[in-house]
Homo-oligomer: A and B are copies of this chain.
Amino acid sequence: MPESRHSPFARLPGVLNPVNHLKVVGRLVRRTPKKPGSAPGTLVHTGSRKVERVRISFLDYDAEHLHEEEVDSIQECFPLKETPTVSWINVDGLHDVELIRNLGEHFGFHPLVLEDLVSVGQRPKLEEHEDYLYIVLHMLSFDGDTKRVESEQLSLLVGSSYVFSFQERVGDVFDPVRERIRSAAGRIRGQGPDYLAYALMDAVVDGYYAVLERVGDEIEDLDLEVMQEPEQAKLRRIHDLKREMLVIRRAVWPLRDVMSQLLRSEHPWIAPDTKVFFRDVYDHAVQSLDTVETLRDLASGLTDLYLSAVGQRQNEVMKVLTIMASIFIPLTFLAGIYGMNFQHMPELALSWAYPALLTLMAAVAGTMVWYFRRKGWW
């Protein structure tokens, strides 16, 4: 289970400062991608989080050879388009729209694809173009401190001999995939770009389980605490968790459609043998979705529990008040009677009157106590 402090994008400074607070809802409402009405293909990066410098690296491999390199300019990757080997070019950072435009022109990507690439907040989707597939996914991670789910847009462009992956930031969940390529573990080195795309998507979806587990643990904790101490802060946490689950759901729900579209796809770059692997990712996506819905049900149940626990508390407060008032108000009245200054109150002169009254008072109080006990209020 990935610990949040190892999560690649959890530790960014400033997540808690006021500017970033807007992100609480902001993650759920896509910011205006560009000036309304501007031409399609206008490249405007909409993410708030930029890396210093765009980092470009590639892995070029077939069953026998492997070439790994970090390059300074995107132009160095252009020759990879022609080679028959599988090339995985990873780009971290989306703010350099000029770079993206160059790339797009060389590889022949549609302007709308490039526009979506840089305007983060896209819904997960699959677009089948003649020469390539365009896949948008969300990578999720759970920040243990802020208890927030962070979402990062991942764009994949899958061609006949290459896979492009675009991320907003350095750091991802793909190290095991890189390791498998380097060590030639499993079948990955002998397969095409479709299999590589599968491996990347599989890694992303595997990451969802880790996030769901963390959310599940939070709910588990709250499940125990909520009836013991129904403080409002607990409800706030339930509320926040529900909101985080909306973030997860928006990543996972459309992914199911993406995968099922991939399963039915007749695109030449998708080998029939790879479909059984896509089917596996599809199953995982459905399962994640199931889990999200179940967790939402559980969180709703917790809200009910909380509210009832609050009601119970109020009931208790009421009972204490009622018991105290019901016992002492009548007694005070009795004392008030004999505090009156009428000249003709014969009882006052009787020597046993005072102890008798005290006894009566005790009896009244006792009756009250008995009554409340019988009611089960005590």
Contact = CB atoms under 8 A, between A and B. Distances in A.
Interface of A: 1-2, 22, 24-26, 28-41, 110, 112, 116, 121-123, 125, 127, 173-177, 180, 185-188, 199, 202-203, 206-207, 209-210, 212-213, 215-217, 219-220, 223, 227, 229, 232, 235-236, 239, 242-243, 246, 250, 276-277, 279-280, 283, 286-287, 290-291, 294-295, 297-298, 301, 303-322, 324-326, 328-333, 335-345, 347-354, 357-358, 375-377
A331 B329 CA distance: 10
Nearest to A200: B37
Nearest to A236: B227
B202 A40 contact: yes
B341 A36 contact: no
A277 B325 contact: no
B332 A209 contact: no
Given A25-B298, A36-B2, A321-B322, A343 B335 contact: no
A32 B232 contact: no
A30 B287 contact: yes
Contact of A32 (B38, B210, B294, B303): B210
Given A305-B239, A353-B342, A317 B28 contact: no
A129 to B, nearest CB: 8
Given A32-B209, A338-B340, 11 more contacts: A1-B32, A28-B216, A40-B202, A122-B287, A243-B298, A324-B330, A335-B337, A338-B341, A338-B342, A342-B347, A344-B351
Sorted nearest first, the 7 A-B pairs with minimum C-beta distance are A335-B336, A37-B176, A37-B203, A39-B186, A36-B206, A29-B216, A338-B340
A342 B336 contact: no
B123 A283 contact: yes
Most chain B Cβ neighbours within 10 Å, of A41, A246, A351: A246
Contacts of A377: 317
Contacts of A358: 337
A interface majority secondary structure: helix
8 contacts: A24-B220, A26-B220, A28-B216, A30-B212, A31-B209, A36-B173, A331-B333, A342-B353
Contacts of A207: 36-37
A343 B314 CA distance: 44
Contacts of A34: 206
Nearest to A205: B36
Contacts of A287: 30, 121-123
Nearest to A42: B186
A329 to B, nearest CB: 4
Contacts of A291: 28-30
Contacts of A279: 127
Contacts of A185: 39
Contact of A36 (B203, B330, B350): B203
A243 B28 contact: no
A125 B283 contact: yes
A310 to B, nearest CB: 6
B206 A277 contact: no
A130 to B, nearest CB: 11
